[in-house]
Structure 1
Amino acid sequence: MSFEQLERSTAAGNPRRLYEFVRGAQRWRYTGGDRDFALDTQTYQAIAVRDDGIRQSGHTASDMLTITAPGDFEVARLYRGLPPSSEVAVVVRDVHEGDGDARVVWMGRVAGVNRPSLESTEVRCQSLDAALGQPGLRLAWTRGCPYTLYDRNCRVNPEAHRVPASLTTLAGNVVTAGIFSQYPDGWFAGGFLAWDLGEAGLERRGIRTHVGERLVLLGAGDGLRIGQAVVAYPGCGRSMSICHGKFNNAPNYGGVPGLPGKSPFDGTPLF
């Protein structure tokens, strides 16, 4: 029988819901019920997992999918402290026992994790439609540059300014490496530190301050250890002088250094 026939059947169907979480090349697969479920060459682990139902109302808050899982849910561990720098995608499939036709019924990303009790975890997921429907930020006329460093507007190539390093000490969100002291204090402030997590891809943490060989990160880093190979990328102070002197990128500067100090909307005709 086809998937549609099993769905319409009053007795022949035996539905299972499958949950897949994706971060880079890393996958976590789960299903509710009393035994694991095999689909093609993949196995979905049976745990106490369920959701509150798929909705498509067009309202972001209403269409959130909440997946409830045990307190030791592996995906939820990624969100203890700061969330991962890369999104964790969620794919929900429906299938029937004895049928290999698993239909994708929902796709989105993890938006947050709650721990209402020690025994349970709530993973709040946002659909792709809701994420795409969010309003973006508008550019404003400012003296400082409004662009995000290394983005398509800034156009600075991050690989041209990367500084590979090996960590010598690690204490919470403070890391050190000898090569950092070869750059002026503050050189990396506002930039970010990146390191490889293997199958999970690259992890990134912003750099709050830089003094000598010491960097203070915006939050502790998962997977960091002494001797860890990392790459530091310098930050930008958003001024024309820094854009030109540090990155040689003045033609792409997004601010307006000559912006008048008087507002044209203060009620006087001259400004």
Structure 2
Amino acid sequence: MKSFPASLQNHLDSGTTTLVWCWRLTRSDRTVFGFTDHDRPLAFDGTTFEPESGFTASEIRSGADLSVDAQEAEGVLTSDTITETDILDGRWDNATVEIWRVNWQDTANRALLRRGAIGQLRRGRLHFVAEMRSLAHVLGQTIGRTFQASCDADLGDVRCGVDLNDPVFKAAGTVVALSGDRGFAVSGLSGFADGWFAFGTLQWLSGANTGRKAEILSHAISGVNVIATLLEEPIRPIEVGNTLNIFAGCDKRFETCQAKFANAANFRGFPHIPGQDTVIRYAAKGDANSGAIL
């Protein structure tokens, strides 16, 4: 059971309360925002909690087990608080949240009810809905390695060791034509084999998506054109003339690690792990039945 400061408890016991909700959100870039459902700004602990965003919250869903407690907050998109651009750029993803119950007549009478993080964030044309997850959501995340045949390292990270800035694995290109929302023809890649950049990544150097990274689904040579298709449609439209850096991809197989990257010593999977077909094998009358592996 949560205990409250004596001053706040006395206020609750008085029978007539002046309590409001306050939310403090800290993004991954350490920018702090404060919101309240009160009709005027409140301030404490160096944060000003603004009412202008139209920030309102649902009831808190909570259980006695280790399931994730959740609450939804809905607000209007405004130019100076939570903007559509910030949401699209992912700046609010996994932002930390503090939920306070505050006496608006005396903000020293307050209690921190829970901490959590922004989960799913849905947006419309003029408003957003953010799911606030309790700290229990961390218990549902996979920690440690998985015993699997494919590699569990990210290409180019410390565990992998491949240098993606090597000209063999990196190229600069320019969009010369569009093919749907995710595909485009790109110059500068004529010296690379078909599929070399499939499952790789690219980073936009110019245009509306400048600075953003994207995953590549396929890379194919079609006549005189080199066509790249992204895994997901970018947040903002691709335009002819956009420049990019593109990096080779890996399908996480041991054979690819050995042949394409000459990096078999750093392969982070278990390529010789028995597959599901091994589990369902059985002895048959016509087999050798010598005691060897089936």
* Aligned equivalents of 1:132, 1:41: Cα separation in 2: 30
Matched, 1:185 2:194: yes
Residue aligning to 2:266: 252
Q: Which residue number corresponds to residue 205 of structure 1? A: 214
User: Compared with structure 1, are the counterparts of its residues 37 and 85 closer, same or farther at alpha carbon in structure 2 (3 Å cutoff)?
Assistant: closer
SS of 1:182's partner is coil
Query: Can you list the C-alpha shifts for 1:164-198, whole angstroms capped at 9, x where unaligned?
Result: 4454555522244322333222111111223489x
Instruction: Answer yes or no: is the 8 Å Cα contact 1:93–1:102 preserved in 2.
Output: no
Check whether the contact 2:170–2:245 (CA below 8 A) recurs between aligned residues: yes
1:126 aligns with 2:133: yes
Checking the alignment, whether the CA contact within 8 Å between 1:189 and 1:234 is kept in structure 2 is yes
Q: CA–CA distance in 2 between the matches of 1:41 and 1:228?
A: 40
CA gap 1:223/1:37 in 2 versus in 1, 3 angstroms: farther
Separation of aligned partners in 1, 2:185 and 2:211? 19
In the other structure, the counterpart of 2:35 is 30
Q: What is the root-mean-square deviation of aligned Cα atoms in Å?
A: 4.3
TM-score (norm 2): 0.66
Residues 1:243 and 2:257 are matched in the alignment: yes
Please give the alpha-carbon distance, in whole angstroms, between the structure 2 residues aligned to 1:85 and 1:19. 15
Q: Secondary structure at 2:155's aligned position in 1?
A: coil
| Greater RCO (Cα-Cα under 8 Å, separation 6 or more) | 1
Question: For structure 1, which segment, 100-109 or 215-224, has the greater mean C-alpha deviation from structure 2 after superposition?
Answer: 100-109
Quote the Cα distance in structure 1 between the aligned partners of 2:212 and 2:110: 32
Structure 2 distance, partners of 1:124, 1:6, is 31
Give the Cα separation in 1 of the matches to 2:182 and 2:197.
Answer: 15
Aligned match of 2:288: none
Q: Which residue is 1:233 aligned to?
A: 247
2:107 to 99, 104, 116: 99
Match of 1:4 in 2: 5
Measure the CA separation in 2 of the matches of 1:230 and 1:193.
7
* Alignment partner of 1:270 is 2:292: yes
Q: CA deviation at 1:78?
A: 6.8
Conservation of the 8 A alpha-carbon contact between 1:85 and 1:204:
no
Q: What is the CA distance between 1:150 and its match in structure 2? A: 3.8
AA aligned to 1:57 is: A
Q: Is the 8 A contact 2:66 2:136 kept in 1?
A: no
Give, in angstroms, the shift of residue 228 of structure 1.
4.5
CA–CA distance in structure 2, aligned partners of residues 235 and 16 of structure 1: 47
CA distance in 1, matches of 2:211, 2:111: 31
Match of 1:215? 228
Distance in 1 of aligned mates of 2:172 and 2:40: 46
Question: In 2, distance between residues paired with 1:105 and 1:162?
Answer: 49
Alpha carbons of structure 1 residues 60 and 224: separation in structure 2 relative to 1, 3 Å: farther
Residues 89-126 of structure 1 show CA distances to partners (whole Å, capped at 9, x for unaligned) of 131242443436876543333332457x9887542232
Decide whether the 8 Å contact of 1:18 with 1:93 is kept in 2: yes
Amino acid in the other structure paired with 1:107: R
1: CA distance, partners of 2:213 / 2:26: 20
| Preserved contact between residue 192 and residue 235 of structure 1 (Cα < 8 Å) | yes
Q: Distance in 1 between matches of 2:172 and 2:32?
A: 29
Is residue 2:120 matched to residue 1:112? yes
Between the aligned partners of 1:27 and 1:175, the Cα distance in structure 2 is 38
Whole-Å Cα distance in 2 between the matches of residues 259 and 15 of structure 1? Answer: 57
- Once the 2 structures are TM-superposed, how far is the Cα of residue 207 of structure 1 from its aligned partner? 0.8
Q: Distance in 1 between matches of 2:242 and 2:108?
A: 43
Residue segments in structure 1 that go unaligned for 5+ positions in a row: none
CA contact (8 A) 2:172 2:245 kept: yes
Larger Rg: 2
Q: Which moved more, 1:206-215 or 1:154-163?
A: 154-163
